[in-house]
Amino acid sequence: MKRAVALLLTIALLPLAASCRISGRSAQRLSQAIRDKIKNASTVTLSVNVRADYVDRVYDFSFSFTGGGEGGEITITAPESIAGLKAHLSKSGTRLEYDGAFLDTGPLTWDGLSPAEAVPLLLDQWREGYISNTSYEKLGDTDAFVIATEVSDSISQRTWFDRESLLPLRSELSENGRLVLTCEFTHASFGEAPDQEG
């Protein structure tokens, strides 16, 4: 009798075990689809609401980002007092300017991460970062796929992507487990490079 019950339980649990394996494959395919979408983009356009937590002060601001694989430009859109401030991002560094004046909010982390460098860092992590965890979650009413990567020994990021469009919805950057930067994406598009005939 005990063997029959054990056999029935084993048979009942087999589909569940198989679905877990399928989910793992599904997560891997979804991760790769997101990476491919970002890697194949010739232009990236993002509108972002950002909260930067410096422990002793918190800044909320909004900006737009337009760029490609090697760099781009951020334009602050809010608050009104600094709207129009631009940051030019490239492999050689970041220049923050407003009417020709250089400005700096300072690093958020011991590694030197600043809010202006968050989007290029996130794009790099989405393209190439080592994926430490994936999950399916609800973000509001949206079905999301979450990808977590380890940026460094002390910095990690999590991004919620819309499961249908594969576009980012929200990102969090943490240092040693403390949330230091939150990005809410109000608009995102990844323009594909035209096919080259050869």
The pLDDT assigned to 188 comes to: 98
Look at the block and give the residue holding tokens 């900006």: 63
**Total domains, the chain:** 1
Does 197 reside within a domain? no
Reference 116, options 42, 68, 52; nearest CA is 52
CA-based radius of gyration for the chain: 21
Residue at 145 is within a domain: yes
For residue 117, what pLDDT is reported? Answer: 82
Domain range holding 72?
A: 2-190
pLDDT at 70: 73
142/169 Cα distance (integer angstroms): 9
Residue numbers in the chain where pLDDT is lower than 70: 1-24, 69, 92-112, 193-198
pTM, entire model: 0.79
What pLDDT is stored for residue 82 in this prediction? 86
Distances (CA, A) of 187 to 26, 37, 80, 84, 176: 26, 16, 20, 18, 29
Position 6 scores a pLDDT of: 45
Report the CATH number that the domain containing residue 118 is assigned in CATH.
Answer: 2.50.20.10
Structure tokens at 28: 């891997």
